[in-house]
Structure 1
Amino acid sequence: MRVPKKLLLGSVIATTAFALAACAPTTAAPEGDGAAEGPEEITVGIITSETGPLAGYGKQYLEGFEAGLDYATEGTGEVDGIALNIENRDDAGDPDTAVTIAKELIGDGINILAGSASSGVALAVAEQAAQNQVLFLSGPAAADAVTGINEYTFRTGRQSAQDVATAGGFLDDIEGKTVTVFAQNNAFGQGNEMAVEAILGSKGAEVNSVLVAEDVTEFTPFAQQVLAAEPDLVFVAWAGATSGAMWQAMSQQGVLDDIPVVTGLGDAATFGAYGEASEQISFLNHYFSGGPDNEVNDAMVAAVEEAGGTPDLFTPDGFVAAQMLVQAVREGKGDVDAMIDALEGWSFEGPKGETTVRASDHALLQEMYQVKLVEQDGAFVPELVGTVDADSVAPAEAP
């Protein structure tokens, strides 16, 4: 059973009811009986990567969050008179650092946390959220383990299972085929490995993996391991600054020439990393600005560009986090139990169209994209191949 906790930051000022003379037969409340509903201010702690290997993802998230907060509050930064004070903190992609920050923020009375570009960070902060009974709006972190981890944690982005399900749309019957997962040996990579096993393995595929430590910078031996496995399909799950070097090694060792490769299309910084091999890769995609076609996406793109940024892979995760924050505060006024109730089962129009917070495990149901890279003016840019509806890629419900 949850214990309700209220965040009351700043003083709550009593309002005086004014008598209405010679009007409708309404009896005004006696002077001093009325009270402002909710606190004057709520502080939200944003814990994400501003430095470290996922700093680029953190930047996209923060740009999206700022645009989303402006959109959801109609430029006021307030929700029904409650001012939202946003405190950004840098976890540098390190779970221990994130836990220290979370404890400091919670100790200061903050009971809404958001952010997490790193899956390891998300899992660690989610644990703190449960222990301290605070709301946690997890960010771009894709590990499936975040979904359903506890009642206090909500996703604001997609998860690995949605990536894998989207990849399945590119494939013919894979029963009896061998699928090799090539990924980083971290929570994100392991989550993808488990998702491929669960989703493609359930369709009869034999799944093996080549997992690479995050600090590795020479990828030739690992590309050779992929070739040695003689797979029928390679599923690549990679994130961060080493993406370019990894793809170069895969290309040089002939993996892309000999074996069908499916991977997620990363942020814009990686579009040129595949070189001529781009046409040999099938890309699943969480977001690029040309994917969705709706007014919310148009508003987000315009706001981010006006602020000097560029909409990218995880911009909508920040935007959606702000939309969910405003919904939680509007309905819950800072009370954690009430904010959880306000989000469970909530459907809304996000940058990717209709988006739903699944009540049972807090997965975020949303459409996904199939994309190819095409050369344009000497550079590679994404082109939409197809849209996969939210129900088709919905992850299995967490127990």
Structure 2
Amino acid sequence: MLLPLVMSVVLAVGCSQNESASSGGGNTIKVGVLASLTGPLESYGKQTARGFELGLDYATEGKREIAGKKIEFVLEDTETKPDVAVQKATKLLETDKVDFLVGSSSSGDTLAVLPLAEEYKKIMVVEPAVADSITGKNWNKYIFRTGRNSSQDAVAGAAAIASKGTKIATMAQDSAYGREGIEAFKTAAEKLGAVIIEEQYVDTNTTDFTANIQKIISAKPEYVFITWAGSNSPWKQLQDMQVQQKGIKVSTGAPDIAALKTMEAMIGMEGFSVYYHSLPKTKMNDWLIDEHKKRFNGEIPDLFTAGGMTAAVAIVEALKKTNADTDSEKLIAAMEGMTFDTPKGQMQFRAEDHQALQTLYAIKLEKKDGVDHPVPVLVREMTMEETAPPVRNQK
């Protein structure tokens, strides 16, 4: 029987396999990065991988070394399939003997892997998966998330459109990300007095949204709030079916650049952004933009690039606090409540659920000369305190 080809990439700095760190010993610290390098979220995974490598270089000043120990990472493709994610994570833990896990691009993949972090007693830094349950009902003490969660998106999205009596419809993919995102949005919007009058969930593989959009039009909301991930997006059909011309305003999060390129019809939309390279005004973000352009043919960093960088920086900062000791109990003690710099400014791991509290941005999409996609323009920054989500882990 032929075995499937497995994508595995090791990025190292002059170290051999027998130098791997284990329980704080050895000369090499190893990080296993799980990402969608193929499949519908391929661009997310590749951005995360680029960002992680850039983050290691930034946080260690290019040395990839902490307290005399070298750092390397092993990159594995989950293919956006939970069973494959478990297979690859098990390989990283058992064969590669990694000290940390990072990932993954999809909430489904990540939720499948969480129990392995607890079983093997290894820190997992979740980036960029957003499902609330990751730091909620499925959380364990080894899980720290640098990515924002659905509730943080929801607070920002609701703040942009919800008020007393506002009638809102919602639309999302029928996935953990989609359903949890809408549930969190509903909670935040209803708290502000809005009324959710229609919910539409779409099969993740569909490319025809006509029936769903028609049901939204028939409900006659003032707004439709959309939570979406991936490239098969509904923006063109929303335009073709003249949703906004019918008096229904569309609101969503400003996504990665590839998705922004499909949102020409959304120019003028008010919503929120997790990251766009021109929004943060920080030293680290300036470095990220300049270095990314140098390494990748003038390309600007994207949403998940900044996230990958943040995950790497968080790991390095934790290791600095433990003097490069990879003992998980020592790392947990160092990381709980830890404040650290990121391209977006400071984040803090909340002690109760290890969710990173962080800045989000209220934005408006505008057309800019010489740019091939609508640009998120800052309306205001929303502080980490303002966007702090509920603690949901009940631990």
Q: What band does the TM-score fall into relative to the shorter chain?
A: 0.7 to 0.9
Question: Which amino acid in structure 1 is aligned with residue 301 of structure 2?
Answer: P
* Contact 2:317 2:340 (8 Å CA) reproduced: no
Aligned counterpart, 1:339? 331
CA apart distance, 1:77: 0.7
Aligned counterpart, 1:147? 135
CA apart distance, 1:12: 9.5
- Deviation per CA, 1:339-397, whole angstroms, max 9, x where unpaired? 11111100012111111111110111111112222222363323222211111111012
* Contact 1:67 1:300 (8 Å CA) reproduced: yes
Question: Which amino acid in structure 2 is aligned with residue 128 of structure 1?
Answer: L
Aligned counterpart, 2:354? 362
The 2-side partners of 1:218 and 1:168 are apart by 27
* Contact 2:272 2:361 (8 Å CA) reproduced: yes
2:286 matches 1:298: yes
Aligned counterpart, 1:107? 94
- Deviation per CA, 1:149-207, whole angstroms, max 9, x where unpaired? 11111111111111111123323523x43322200011110111110122112333333
CA apart distance, 1:276: 4.1
- Length-normalised TM-score, structure 1: 0.87
Q: Return the match for 1:193 from 182, 204, 215.
A: 182
- Deviation per CA, 1:59-80, whole angstroms, max 9, x where unpaired? 1111111111001111111111
2:58 matches 1:68: no
Aligned counterpart, 1:261? 250
Aligned counterpart, 1:121? 109
CA-based RMSD of the aligned residues comes to: 2.0
Q: Return the match for 2:319 from 322, 329, 332.
A: 329
* Contact 1:327 1:342 (8 Å CA) reproduced: no
Aligned counterpart, 1:184? 173
* Contact 1:331 1:338 (8 Å CA) reproduced: no
- Length-normalised TM-score, structure 2: 0.88
The 2-side partners of 1:76 and 1:248 are apart by 46
Bigger drift between 349-358 and 306-315 goes to 306-315
Bigger drift between 133-142 and 268-277 goes to 268-277
2:299 matches 1:307: no
* Contact 1:256 1:277 (8 Å CA) reproduced: no
The 2-side partners of 1:152 and 1:264 are apart by 29
* Contact 1:46 1:115 (8 Å CA) reproduced: yes
Q: Extract unaligned runs of 5+ from structure 1.
A: 1-8, 14-36
Q: Return the match for 2:276 from 288, 292, 302.
A: 288
The 2-side partners of 1:255 and 1:131 are apart by 49
Q: Larger radius of gyration, structure 1 or 2?
A: 1
Question: Which amino acid in structure 2 is aligned with residue 119 of structure 1?
Answer: S
Aligned counterpart, 2:159? 169
The 2-side partners of 1:39 and 1:102 are apart by 21
Secondary structure of the residue that 2:375 maps to in structure 1? strand
Superposition map of 1:14-53 within 5 A: 38-53=25-40
The 1-side partners of 2:156 and 2:184 are apart by 12
Bigger drift between 311-320 and 227-236 goes to 227-236
Question: Which amino acid in structure 2 is aligned with residue 342 of structure 1?
Answer: A
* Contact 2:126 2:146 (8 Å CA) reproduced: yes
- Deviation per CA, 1:225-283, whole angstroms, max 9, x where unpaired? 2112222321100111102xx1111111122222122100011112232224422x222
Which 4+ runs in 1 deviate beyond 6 A? none
CA apart distance, 1:110: 2.2
- Deviation per CA, 1:286-326, whole angstroms, max 9, x where unpaired? 00011000101111111211111421111221111101111
2:44 matches 1:57: yes
Aligned counterpart, 1:386? 380
Bigger drift between 304-313 and 80-89 goes to 304-313
Aligned counterpart, 1:372? 364
Secondary structure of the residue that 2:115 maps to in structure 1? helix
* Contact 2:108 2:176 (8 Å CA) reproduced: yes
Question: Which amino acid in structure 1 is aligned with residue 349 of structure 2?
Answer: V
- The percent of aligned pairs where both chains have the same amino acid is 35
The 2-side partners of 1:276 and 1:317 are apart by 27
Question: Which amino acid in structure 2 is aligned with residue 322 of structure 1?
Answer: A
The 2-side partners of 1:353 and 1:115 are apart by 21
The 2-side partners of 1:361 and 1:301 are apart by 31
Aligned counterpart, 1:95? 82
* Contact 2:337 2:351 (8 Å CA) reproduced: yes
The 2-side partners of 1:270 and 1:241 are apart by 6
